C-alpha cells in the first residue's frame, strides 16, 4: 500500500482482507438495526473494522456501519495546506513513522490524529480510545498521553472516559 492513500490508508488496510470486506458489506446491508456477530471470530473482525472507523460497536456487540467514513476521510483535518504537508511527512500507509520532538510539528500531528480518530461531542471509553489510536501508532498509551497532555483530549476525573476538548 502506498503512502499516497493519506486518510484512506486505514480504511483501505481494514478492507484489504476479504473476510473483513465481506463482514463490512454485511454490516452495511444490515442498516441501522446493525449486525449481531455470529461468534468470537466475527467480534474480532468487527473490532478491527471499528478501529479503522468503518463500524461502531454497541455495548451489546451489535455493529452498525459508519456510512460517513469515506466522506469523512475526504474532508481535510486542517485547513492549512502546509500543516497537512508537514503531517504527511510523518505518515506512511496512514501510520505514524515517528513522533516529532519539535512542539509545533508534534501539535500538528496530534491535531491530525484527533480529527481523524475522534468525533467532537462523543464520549469514548479507554478501550475505544486505545483501538482508535492503535491504528496510528503501536505505542498507543503514549499517544493517548500526548493527546491528553496537549489538551486535545480530555479525560474524566475518574479516568473512565475521554472526549475531544472543546
C-alpha span between 45 and 164 (Å, rounded): 26
The per-residue pLDDT for 122 is 85
Cα torsion 20, 22, 28, 31 to 10°: value is -110
* 146 and 113 housed in the same domain: yes
Query: Which neighbouring-strand residues pair with 65?
Result: 55
The per-residue pLDDT for 52 is 84
The residue out of 70, 92, 115 marking a domain boundary is: 70
* 95 and 124 housed in the same domain: yes
* 66 and 89 housed in the same domain: no
The per-residue pLDDT for 3 is 40
Residue 57 to residues 53, 64, 75, 166: CA-CA distances in angstroms? 10, 7, 23, 24
The per-residue pLDDT for 68 is 83
Q: What is the pLDDT of residues 81-140, one digit of tens each?
A: 555 667 888 888 888 999 999 888 899 999 999 988 998 888 899 999 999 999 999 999
Range of the domain at 96: 76-164
The per-residue pLDDT for 76 is 57
Higher pLDDT, 166 or 119: 119
* 56 and 89 housed in the same domain: no
Q: Could you tell me the CATH number of the domain that includes residue 131? A: 1.10.10
* Number of domains comprising the chain: 2
Compute φ and ψ for 17, nearest 5 degrees: -85, 130
* 63 and 82 housed in the same domain: no
C-alpha span between 89 and 152 (Å, rounded): 21
Query: How many residues would you count in the chain?
Result: 166
For the cut 90, the answer to whether the pLDDT of residue 9 exceeds it is: no
Q: How buried is 159 (Cβ within 10 angstroms: 0-12 exposed, 13-18 middle, 19+ buried)?
A: exposed
The residue out of 40, 70, 100 marking a domain boundary is: 70
Contact between 87 and 106 (Cβ < 8 Å): no
Q: What is the pLDDT of residues 57-83, one digit of tens each?
A: 888 889 999 888 887 777 655 444 555
* 154 and 93 housed in the same domain: yes
The per-residue pLDDT for 79 is 47
What is the rounded average pLDDT of the residues 6-21? 83
The per-residue pLDDT for 73 is 75
The per-residue pLDDT for 80 is 47
Percent of the chain with pLDDT over 70: 89
* 80 and 159 housed in the same domain: yes
Higher pLDDT, 14 or 82: 14
Amino acid at each position: 500500500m502506498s503512502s499516497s492513500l493519506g486518510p484512506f490508508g486505514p480504511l483501505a488496510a481494514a478492507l484489504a482482507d476479504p473476510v473483513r470486506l465481506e463482514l463490512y458489506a454485511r454490516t452495511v446491508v444490515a442498516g441501522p438495526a446493525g449486525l449481531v456477530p455470529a461468534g468470537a471470530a466475527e467480534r474480532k473482525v468487527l473490532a478491527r473494522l471499528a478501529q479503522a472507523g468503518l463500524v461502531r460497536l454497541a455495548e451489546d456487540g451489535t455493529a452498525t456501519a459508519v456510512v460517513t467514513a469515506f466522506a469523512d476521510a475526504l474532508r481535510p483535518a486542517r485547513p492549512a495546506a502546509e500543516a497537512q504537508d508537514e503531517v504527511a511527512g510523518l505518515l506512511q500507509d496512514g501510520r505514524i513513522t515517528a513522533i516529532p520532538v519539535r512542539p509545533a510539528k508534534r501539535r500538528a500531528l496530534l491535531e491530525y490524529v484527533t480529527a481523524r480518530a475522534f468525533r467532537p461531542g462523543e464520549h469514548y471509553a479507554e478501550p475505544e480510545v486505545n483501538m482508535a489510536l492503535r491504528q496510528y501508532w503501536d505505542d498507543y498509551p503514549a499517544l493517548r498521553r500526548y493527546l491528553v497532555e496537549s489538551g486535545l483530549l480530555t479525560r474524566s476525573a475518574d479516568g473512565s472516559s475521554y472526549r475531544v476538548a472543546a
